[in-house]
Amino acid sequence: MSAKKILEINPHHPVMKVMLERLKASEHGGLDEADRSYLDLLYQMALLNSGFLFESPHELTVPLEKLIRVGFGVGRDEEIEEI
């Protein structure tokens, strides 16, 4: 029998504080595409750390690749050059 898995959100985490401020400051009451992607990645990481399995690993790897691109100074959606 496996243990019940629980996902908790820490409202004191610095990322959650920043996202709340961005939501409050937003004119349209939402986040931009990049922020939504980062939150989705954070959610996927929390699931993974909590022992949940992914039916589609693609859901984790796509936003992770975009984050890596930004870290290297490459555009999030820059096209891959064909050889």
**Tens digits of per-residue pLDDT, 36-76?**
888 888 888 888 888 888 788 888 888 888 889 989 999 98
CB atoms within 10 A of CB 68: 11
Residue 11 token pair: 């409202």
Whether residue 7 lies inside any domain: the answer is: no
**Is the CB of residue 71 less than 8 Å from the CB of residue 51?**
no
- The predicted structure's pLDDT at residue 37: 83
- Mean per-residue pLDDT of the chain: 85
Distance from C-alpha of 36 to C-alpha of 47, rounded to nearest angstrom? 17
Whether residue 59 lies inside any domain: the answer is: yes
- The predicted structure's pLDDT at residue 62: 86
In this prediction the pTM is 0.70
| Residues contacting residue 5 through CB under 8 Å, at least 6 positions apart | 50, 51, 52
In the chain, the number of structural domains is: 1
Q: What residue numbers bound the domain in which 63 lies?
A: 30-74
Whether residue 22 lies inside any domain: the answer is: no
Whether residue 55 lies inside any domain: the answer is: yes
Whether residue 63 lies inside any domain: the answer is: yes
Whether residue 6 lies inside any domain: the answer is: no
Whether residue 44 lies inside any domain: the answer is: yes
